[in-house]
Structure 1
Amino acid sequence: MFNPSNETHFSVQIQGLQHDFQVLGFTGTEAISTPYQFSIELVSETPDFDLGQLLHRQVFLAFDPAGNGIHGQVYQVSQGDSGKRLHRYAMVLVPHVAYLQHSSDQRIFQNLTVEQIISQVLEAHGILGTAYRFDLGPTVYPKRVYCVQYDETDLHFIQRLCEEEGIHYHFEHSPDGHLMVFADDQTFFRKLEKPTPYQQDSGMVADEPVIKSFALRMEARTQRTTRRDYNFEKPRLLLEADESPLNNGAEPDLEDYAYPAGVYDRDRCRHLSQRALERHRADYALVEGRGDDPQLCSGYFLRLSDHPRSEWNDLWLLTSLVHEGKQPQVLEEHITSDTTANAEDFHQGYRNRFTATPWDVFFRPSRIHMKPKVLGNQTAVVTGPAGEEIHCDEYGRVKVQFHWDRLGQGNDKSSCWLRLSSTWAGKRYGSVVIPRIGMEVLVSFFEGDPDQPIISGCLYHKRHNTAYVLPANKTRSSFKTLSSPGGGGFNELRIEDKKGEEQIFIHAARDWDQHIKHDQNITVGNERHDAVTANSYSEFKAQEQITIDLARKVEAKASDHLSVSQTQHIKAGTALLTRAGREVHLYAGDKVVAEAAIELTAKAGGSFLKLDPSGISMVGPTIRINAGGKPGKGSGIYVLGAEIPGLADVVAAGAILNSRKANALQAVPAPVKALIEEEEEEEELEQRNITLRVGVFFDGTGNNRSNSEQAANCRAQDVNLTDMGEDIQAFCEEHGFDSKGNPPDDSYGNDVSNIARLYKLYPDDVSNFISGKDIAYLSVYIEGIGTSSGEDDSIYAQGTGQGEQGVLARVEQAPEEILRGVRQISELNSDIKINKIIFDLFGFSRGAAAARHFANEIAKGHHSVLSKGIPSEMAVFSRTFDWGEKANVSINYIGLFDTVAAIVDPLAGDFSGHNKINTGVNLYLAPRIASRIVQLVAKDEYRYNFSLNSAGAADIVLPGAHSDLGGGYLPNATERVLLSKPQRSLVSQHTPITAAPSYLYAQETMVELEDRFRPYKLPLQVHAWEVQAERFAKGDRFKGRYVYAAPSSERHVSSDLALVYFRIMRELAVQNRVPFNEVDQGDPTLVLPTELEAISGKLTAYALGQATVSNLTSEEIALLYQRYIHMSANWNAAKGWNNSSLDVVFINRPADNYKRVVYKNE
């Protein structure tokens, strides 16, 4: 045994093993977020330890008698040279978690936090909750919906997750074990028990452990981190966040930009961006030191003392250490101390080298363990719940079972939802084919990320064969489905390209609906065969023309019913032959004329009457003239009315939208005795004729009531989107609102117009029973040009007034909306018949143009869009209702706000809305087209693109710009406008911006504009900005910049003037029998400011004809200009393109000399 008189400092304790090991020396490395490793040299007098028994045992290596040391498991053990008495052994100690580098897996974790995932991995290896701890700060780590360990070891996986989140780990050691501590904040690092003094290394042995070297270096690091991502559920939400350190002074802008960030919301993006910045800067200030204090351990704060630089006597986080210890006295008893004067020539004792960072610099582990990428594609099988054949979510996503997934159960929990690649995917259009459960699919991965799979196609395999045997049918292309659930039927489109057998085959397992909005042309080169098992229904709302070159053969095996509302003409080239088995009965309400050029014969039995050029021949056993008797009686006509066919489905394939049940809007198959007038009279008595008052409200370009109301919360005063709920925040950001609620330049950024306000005042009976009344009301709102509720605006329609959201399209939409309302009224009131319709029409801007065109459509009678869209033959109308009769259809009132048609038709060579061409739109209002026409005209509208379409004597000119009359401006908005076209000049880098020629020119222009804008009392100033010049001639060393400048103004403007004109239009309409309800005085959005009440009274009296002039005082006029009348004519370019030299982008530019062009009512 060893001589106990020779003192040793290092020792090992091996759990569950008696031994006589002595530590000869050791080296070890440890660092935060890295498994440590210590190599120990041992000697023993025992020559034959069972090395297998040593492997994996728990060992504590003590650095000193005070208990400082490390605990680990024997990862490697070996036996070396043997002497006469002592035998050398070596072992390597690591933490238990280091073993996980030898275990790899491919598996899926779902809806778990990182903490839960790591816990599962650790505990699967026997590292239970007593061997690790999570000390996480206030940060809430979201559950990962889908997290894949793919082609990586368990240790790599754990370290990767920690690095992605900015979570670090370190170890706490004791003789009984080591505890793995996961943390994310500096406060979870412990302090060492006692301070360690600094003592410069002099080669002398100190009396106590000291720090012998302590050197600080600072190094350039990333100054800004930006993270961006995309969330398909919020496609317009910009998921981007950037972080930079506070007080970074004049340091260079060094940015780390990364996409994708792997986030789905803004908060998460900001969090990861902040963690990335902290990671980059974790070691920008780094200490490298040496010492001999055995208490030092990574993940602890070193308390430095006695350093001559006093501010360094502080806490320093130990981030890594290299330990080294030697005690050769276990071999040679006479060696008791280090006898070497050179400290680098280390022979005995303990020493360490370390790195450390300031205590207040967050430690984040470096991104060393990157996520493995999936190279190429994989295949998988679509899964879902038991009993289902198709399992998808609202986006058409499905779940799959990967072939490598050993834990998946092949059900709806097997994976995340996988999006499906489609050949076409637009807003409510495109192609959708959902892979079904059991299908094999081809899976790709965004950016090679195993956490982001996407299905790119489907694959046939041995058990899922093609619809037709290959290669026998290699010329056949098909799309064939299978009825679900249960199968048994299919739909198919098949194309055969085999020469001489070409065919297109369509099979519908049940219904086949076709919807063609215009023409259908069919040409058959040979024969056509139609076989219908049950009934066939056809309805032609205009003419039916059929030409047959050869014979026509029709066989009705039961009865044949033909009902002709007016006259029937039959022409036979040779003969018209009719044969009835029992009876031919002809009846005419007035007369029957039978005419023949040569002979007319009536024959019954053996008697006959013949008329020919020679005379009249009557032959019979007895001929009676005025001899009494009675005429023969026919059976009468019994005609079955044709049933109106069901409409082709335009929503859900296979469903019948209009079932063939009797209702007020559909013809009912019932026998009608044409000769029994009493029954017809009884039927009429059961119905009640009413008058329908219809108010149609055409909103202006860029105005949409629904969009404005939905976005009201986004633009509330003092709004901060970051404080809103996530759904509201996402809606606002999706529709262009910034974090402070500043609105976009579209229908979501506008307030409701006066058209929308008036629409809400018009009575509506779509949900009411109207028993006992002879009048019903219907209010119809038509969305503004270029807008659709809940959808993006159409730039094309707003720019041209054409397209699917253009003026003519809105006119065609009106009958559809009216028909929808009529149906609703009729369903609740089946006893009514509409005998008369009275229209009240309202419109603003291009909506006013639509209202005028619609008025002319009403005047067309039978040829109008109303007659085509709502046929008078519908059962809801009385028998006498006729679209062409003024007694049945009339226009009471047309109320317009500032008509601006501005139709642009590039295909016809018309590229400007400034002119009066307005292709296809009829703006002329004839004097008697309505009982009263009123147009409120904006006196202060001067824009080039807003030429007025006058209504002649109906015009009432009132102060304000276009939308001051029609509404839509936001309340109390800040108006920032350029008052002239921006000018540009090129200057050097050193020229002050105020010395640029463009700036000086803007100053001169500002003086010239002062007179024009004096009524507004605008605070004029020059607005200037600069852009670095990019291109110069080769060899030109001149570096310059472009300075743009223009006079500008900024002020707060209220939208409340529109409320005055809302009231004026209502009063004018009520005077002319429009049934508007009263204005809700309790609605805060409709309350007039006190200072406008007197002005409103004077303008109302003027508009109503009670005063010849407005009688506004100079103070009242000044008030309107300074606080209420917007400067609609300005030089703000569309989409912020103020640097452009093209006039066309300045859509609000003023007309020449600020004089609006007015086109006559024609």
Structure 2
Amino acid sequence: MAHPDFTLHLANGADDLQVLAFVGHEGVSQPYRFSLELVSPNPDVDFAALLQQPAFLCLDTAQGRGIHGLVQRIEQTACSPALSHYRLDLGPHLLRLALRRNCRIFQERTVPQILETLLDEHGIPADRRGFQLGSHYPARQYCVQYAETDLDFLQRLCAEEGLHYHFEHSTDGHRLVFGDDQTAFPCLGQPAPYVPGSGQACGKPTIQAFSVRLESRTETVALRDHDFLQPRLHLESTAQRGQREDYRYPGGFRDRDRGRQRAQRALEAHRHDVVLAQGESDQPQLASGYFLDLQEHPRRDWNQLWLLTEIQHEGRQPQVLEAYGDAVRDGAIPGYRNRFKATPWDTPFRPQALSRPRLPGVQRAVVCGPVGEEIHCDALGRIKVQFHWDRDGQNDAHSSCWLRVASGWAGDRYGALAVPRVGMSVLVSFLEGDLDQPLVTGCLYHAELPAPYPLPEHKTRSVFRSQSTPGGEGFNEVRIDDRKDAEQIYLHAQRDWEQHIGHDHHLYVGHEQHEHIGANCLLEVQGEEHRLVHQARMTELKADDHLTVGASQHVKVGEGRFVDAGREIHLFAGKKLVIDADQEMSLAAGGSWLKLDPSGVSLSGVQIRLNSGGNAGHGSGAQVLMPVLASVPGTAQPSKSLQAPAQPPASQPEIEAQEARWEEEEAESLEEETEAQEEERVQPEETAEQRITLRIGVFFDGTGNNTANSGLTEQCRRDDQTLLDPDTLQGAIDYCRRFGFDDPDENGVFRRTPDNSYGNAHSNVAELFRLYQDDANRALSAGETSACIKAYLEGIGTTSGDADSLIGQGTGGGTTGVLARVQDSPTHISRQLRDLLRKNPALLVDAVEFDIFGFSRGGAAARHFANEVLKAEKGVLAGLLSPQTAGFAPDFSWNRVRLNFIGLFDTVAALVAPLEGDFSPANDDNPGLNLYLPPDCARKVVHLTARDEKRWNFALNSVAPGHQEIELPGAHSDIGGGYPPLMTERLLIGKPRPVLLYWGRSPEQSKAWQEALAEAEQLELQGLPAGSLRIGTRPLSPSRQRSTASSERHLVLLEVNRQVRGELARVYLQAMHQIATANDVPLEPLDPADTRLAISADLGAIAQKLLAAAQGSALNLSFEEERHLYARYIHLSAHWTPLKGLLINKPAPKGRLVYGNQPRKDHPA
């Protein structure tokens, strides 16, 4: 029997099953399935021992290509004494997820984290899966799997986020790989030649058929959404390539960046197979999720990389039947063949969106919260619930997201509010039927939660009753009873009842009014009080009665007034007392009396005295108490009993005691300071000499870079502002606006940053300065023979704490220019040396070594400074590095001064000297500046330069020939640092093209538009996200118009609007750090835990290649890695956006200008 081409290897060692035929299908973002026809002389194969066991179907024994999977199904289709036939299905471990259907909730988890959880639960180990993701995926606050299999749930989440997956096979396993761009797909090992017809003449596997079709698809996706936490925020995002639009609401996003990402990926899902290739081959090496390198096709534009998205495999080897004497009768063609589909390599693959479960009805749930809480809500009155179907929830504060509670009325600080309480049964509906957006629409009674009154006995009652909390013993209630002839409105307040009536209060009682007050009744009427009682008034006071009348009291009694005092009646008038009676007045006491009537005055007594001396009688006098003023309820405020009491003011003795304590503390502090000074004076002076080599690190920062100014605004460049609470975030925004930051997005990240030293982040020079060893404020031990100090020179055109100098930044000259910084360097070094000697008075500097770093114009200053050091006694340091300088050895000489290391980031001198006839920063004429570095000037010179810097005004001043120069991907500040962690680029990326537009003619038909479109396609090919580019027109200003009645002049503009990250500079910081420490520069190690220097995960593999290139290895980035850098990390420094009317960032027409390392006539070597 001939050796079989296809073999099946089972993990349990069963090797008597031979492959007769197979068919299989695999595709990107699809679990593969292979159905195998097997034969065996064994009629008793143990099915149970094979099910779910690993197996490998070898398609090509020479190359080892095959399909690994698990046995999903096996059946015996025929059985005879000599030979039995079996059918076996092979699939990935991912198919396990289709065997479980679940309902569950994920909270605050990203989609990759949810996928990891699902794979873990099904026993798929970490080494059998991988995530190659380049984008950031925010955590989903609330994500529900409902009546879906785990596989359907996984597929849906991947489609929603635009993630894809494919499988990589080996003989001992298969690996599931998730990705979000084309870099996740590997290439096949070898090119695939196109040979139409049979491949047998070629003698090797070939592509035998290949066709391409182009199809119209949706050209624009527009998404809109609404966020109730930011109701005024206009949430709309569009990814546009044409007119045919797919408009969706809700769009499933809460910030614009997320919306742009989702719109772009939805558009890519529509268009991923606009161009679709179909082919046939006999190449067993083809696998979905791999790039096919097509060659030798007559259409040259088809000879490129194609992503294999689907493959249908077929194979048959009837020769396995020969050993059993069976004849082949089905006429099938033996051997291997496949049919495949493929898309162009540069068209992003996105899986088609899957419909998510929708629930148009409502569900029941129970309100839940922390243990012991009876009411659990947030500032918006939202609650947490436990769904009855949720098996994982613990009926606590983490069982769900916050659910909004529907109300019959809701306005701006008015409306109706009743927060459902823990334990209540509630009805939950879902916005747009989306299970991820639940809200509470009502509450339900059930057998254990009965109504406030027994039913149907009290069915006429409408009740709103609350319950005191915590504890639940009391209640407040409003009850309306509509029972005929017993109608009633009943109000019950468990404790206080406060009313506030803004104007009038009218009360009508048709029958009787009864009031019972258990304690005091306090009433204050600020106007008049009027009472009318139509019948008798009966008032009983069981204690005293106090009445104070501020003016007059008038009492009118229709018939008689009768006063009965058990002890005394006392009347007092300040001036006069008049008692007037029309008929009679009588006074009687002790048997004597006085009577006045019309007949005269009658006086009767035992004895009557007139002017006989004695005194009048005295009464007790009135002692009236004033009323206590009534407490008035505030307008919609807590009652007085709920408000915190005011802090009582300190008494005068307390104030005097505190002042005395302060005076005592000040006296003690002064005494301690005096003792310390006295102790310092009596310390004996050290006289033993300690000779050292002084290492001096000198750091020249770049134009517009200033570490002090960057430090003032470091908070403003954070991309994690959402971690701040609202008040802190608003305070940060107000603070940052003072420095020119503006237009914060919904996450607090500023879209507009100031173009000055306050807007830039710390440069790599500033970071290296921070890491350089500093002994200036340290006492050296007796055995140390070297010490380090460092000096930082502010970036060109900047001043710490002050505004930037436009002259300094524009020309590189003036008091903040390149030469001025070099002239300032002795002062900075001297200050640090003085601090070192103050701590170490016995030091004597015997030798000096310099480590010099610089970026941009700071790199030019570093090179000029190096030449000043090489000039020895004729340079700017002659007065400082001298035996006459305090701290230097008497025998010190300049032959003991050397340059150890010079580390440069993208040197750009760009000096302008109008008074000397130099008006251009792009030339090599830099008056007064010496950039030449002789070959042996230092132990090591290294220069990291920006490969992608294209600006006309940013000519490179090379150190070659003579020194190491390493070109690396990135723009100018991608190399030297200074970009914020995340920034928005809104730029005119293409040169504006004038066009004359006639009325009724679309600008898309113009040559200028087509040129801009071709340029946009080229930029997309390089890696710019398609959704970030926009072509538009803008009319020329009236002064520049040459229009006619039927036409108008416009500019066709190619604009980019994208977010780009700043972490690439951190890679080059690491590169310079590695090179410097390898050359004995005293730098502290980089802290892996320092988030300011962290490199994002998607940059990790690329960063390793870049670091290797910085060490001298060849830079070997793949095409997709280059596109990834260009898409997310390389800034577009060259553009056509004017700044203050000038095109200072325009691109150089033929690439960047480069000037070599050559001696100058005015500065000979």
- Normalising by structure 1, report the TM-score: 0.56
Q: 1:177 aligns with which of 173, 178, 200?
A: 173
Measured in 1, the distance between the counterparts of 2:454 and 2:640 equals 32
Distance 2:54 2:552 in 1: 109
Task: State the Cα deviation string for residues 623-674 of structure 1 (Å, max 9, x = none).
Answer: 222111111112121111111110124334554479999999xxxxxxxxxx
- Which residues in structure 2 correspond to 1:433-582 (within 5 Å)? 433-582=418-567
Deviation string, structure 1 residues 14-44 (Cα, Å, up to 9, x no partner): 0022322221111100000000000111111
Counterpart residue number, 1:610: 595
Quote the offset at 1:220 in angstroms: 1.2
Looking at structure 2, the residues matched to 286 and 991 of structure 1 have their Cα atoms a distance apart, in angstroms, of 33
Moved more, 78-87 or 187-196: 78-87
For structure 2, the residue ranges without an aligned partner over 5 or more in a row are: 650-729, 755-997, 1003-1036, 1042-1165
1:16 aligns with 2:12: yes
Q: Offset of 1:603 from its aligned partner?
A: 1.8
Determine the structure 2 residue equivalent to 1:123: 120
Q: CA deviation at 1:718?
A: 7.0
2: distance between equivalents of 1:539 and 1:61?
A: 97
Please say if 1:136 is aligned against 2:133: yes
Count matched residues.
Answer: 686
1:325 aligns with 2:315: yes
Counterpart in 2 of 1:355? 341
CA deviation profile, 1:445-479 (whole Å, cap 9, x unmatched): 11111111111000000011111111111111111
Q: Give the AA of the match of 1:265.
A: D
> Which residue of 2 is the match for residue 935 of structure 1?
none
Residue-by-residue CA offset, 1:241-274 (whole Å, 9 max, x unaligned): 11124xxxxx5x0111111122222221111111
- Give CA-to-partner distance per residue, 1:763-793, whole Å, 9 cap, x none: xxxxxxxxxxxxxxxxxxxxxxxxxxxxxxx
Measured after TM superposition, the shift of residue 542 of structure 1 is 0.6
Amino acid at match of 1:331: L
Residue 402 (structure 1) aligned with residue 387 (structure 2): yes
Alignment of 1:271 onto 2:261: yes
Q: CA deviation at 1:611?
A: 1.4
Query: What letter is aligned with 1:95?
Result: P
Contact 2:199 2:205 in 1 (8 A): no
Q: CA contact under 8 A between 2:237 and 2:260: conserved in structure 1?
A: yes
Equivalent residue letter for 2:253: V
Question: 2:199–2:206: 8 Å Cα contact kept in structure 1?
Answer: no
**What code does the residue aligned with 1:332 have?**
E
Could you tell me which amino acid in structure 2 is paired with residue 318 of structure 1?
Answer: L
Mapped partners of 2:96, 2:3: distance in 1: 35
Aligned to 2:747: 726
Q: Secondary structure at the match of 1:120?
A: helix
Tell me the equivalent position of 2:92: 95
**2:305 counterpart of 1:315:** yes
Query: Which AA in structure 1 matches 2:259?
Result: C
User: 1:204–1:261: structure 2 CA closer, same or farther, 3 Å change rule?
Assistant: same
Mapped contact 2:383–2:403 kept (Cα < 8 A): yes
DSSP 3-state at the match of 1:466: coil
From the superposition, tell whether residues 432 and 54 of structure 1 become closer, same or farther in structure 2 (CA, over 3 Å): same
Q: For 1:728 and 1:552, how far apart are their aligned partners in 2?
A: 75
Does the alignment pair 1:629 with 2:614?
Answer: yes
- After superposition, the C-alpha distances for 1:367-417 in whole angstroms (9 at most, x for unaligned) are 1x3211124111111111111111111111111111111111111111111
Tell me what 1:672 maps to.
none
Structure-2 residue corresponding to 1:365: 351
CA distance in 2, matches of 1:450, 1:663: 54
Supply the distance in 2 between the matched residues of 1:298 and 1:372 (Cα, whole angstroms): 29
Query: 1:813 is matched with which residue?
Result: none
What are the superposed Cα offsets for residues 693-722 of structure 1, whole Å, 9 maximum, x if unpaired? xxxxxxxxxxxxxxx999988998976525
5 Å-filtered alignment, 1:976-1125, equals none
Partner Cα separation in structure 1 for residue 329 and residue 739 of structure 2: 80
Q: How does 1:623-662 map to 2 (within 5 A)?
A: 623-652=608-637, 654-656=639-641
Partner of 2:60, secondary structure, is: coil
Pick one of 72, 75, 79 that aligns with 2:72.
75
**Residues 884-940 of structure 1 deviation map (CA, whole Å, 9 limit, x = unaligned):** xxxxxxxxxxxxxxxxxxxxxxxxxxxxxxxxxxxxxxxxxxxxxxxxxxxxxxxxx
Post-superposition Cα deviations, 1:255-306, rounded to whole Å, max 9, x if no partner, equal 1111112222222111111111111111111111111111110011111111
Question: What does residue range 300-311 of structure 1 map to in structure 2 within 5 Å?
Answer: 300-311=290-301
Question: Contact between 1:649 and 1:657, CA under 8 Å: does it hold in 2?
Answer: no
The CA distance in 2 between the partners of 1:339 and 1:424, in whole Å, is 79
Q: Could you tell me how far apart the structure 1 residues matched to 2:606 and 2:439 are?
A: 97
CA RMSD, 1 decimal:
3.3
SS at match of 1:430: coil
Residues 583-602 of structure 1: pairs in structure 2 closer than 5 A = 583-602=568-587
Q: Give the distance between the partners of 1:538 and 1:726, measured in 2 at CA.
A: 54
Secondary structure of 2:127's partner?
A: coil
Q: Secondary structure at the match of 2:596?
A: strand
Q: Name the counterpart of 1:154.
A: 150
TM-score, with structure 2 as normaliser: 0.56
Matched with 1:1112 is none
Letter in structure 2 aligned against 1:107: R
Q: CA deviation at 1:87?
A: 2.0
Work out the CA distance in 2 between the residues paired with 1:427 and 1:311: 63
Cα deviation per residue 1:570-608 (whole Å; 9 max; x = unaligned)? Answer: 000001222211111111211111111111222222112
Give, in whole Å, the separation in 2 of the partners of 1:237 and 1:739.
18
Offset at residue 537 of structure 1 (A):
0.6
Deviations 1:146-188 (A, max 9, x none): 1111011111011111111101111000110111111111111
Alpha carbons 1:224, 1:254 under 8 Å: kept? yes
Distance in 2, Cα, partners of 1:50 & 1:658: 80
Give the counterpart letter for 1:296 in structure 2: L
In the aligned structure 1, how far is the partner of 2:380 from the partner of 2:627?
43
> Against the structure 1 CA distance between its residues 349 and 662, is the aligned structure 2 distance closer, same or farther, given a 3 Å change threshold?
closer
Q: Please, which runs of 5 or more residues in structure 1 have no aligned partner? A: 246-250, 665-707, 730-737, 742-987, 993-1018, 1024-1162
**Segment of structure 1 superposing worse, 643-652 or 443-452:** 643-652
Q: Deviations over 1:346-366 (max 9, x none)?
A: 511111111111111111111
The alpha-carbon distance between structure 1 residues 727 and 495, as it changes in their structure 2 partners (threshold 3 A), is farther
Cα offset, 1:83, TM superposition: 4.6
Whole-angstrom distance in 1 between the partners of 2:422 and 2:642: 30
Which of 357, 368, 390 aligns to 1:383? It is 368
Whether the aligned pair in 1 keeps the contact of 2:404 and 2:440 (CA below 8 Å) is: yes
Deviation at 1:336, TM superposition (A): 15
- Residue 292 in 1 paired to residue 289 in 2? no
Q: What is the aligned partner in structure 1 of residue 1123 from structure 2?
A: none
Alignment of 1:213 onto 2:216? no
SS of residue in 2 equivalent to 1:639: coil
Structure 1 distance, partners of 2:475, 2:640, is 16
Aligned equivalents of 2:15 and 2:408: distance in 1? 73
> How far apart are residue 332 of structure 1 and its match?
3.2
User: Distance between the aligned counterparts of 2:327 and 2:140, measured in 1?
Assistant: 57
- The answer as to 2:236 corresponding to 1:240 is yes
Distance 1:374 1:461, change over 3 A: same
1:59 aligned partner: 55
Letter in 2 for 1:67: G
* AA at the equivalent of 1:359: W
Contact 2:35-2:89 within 8 A present in 1 as well: yes
Q: What amino acid does structure 1 have at the position aligned with 2:192?
A: T
% same residue = 48
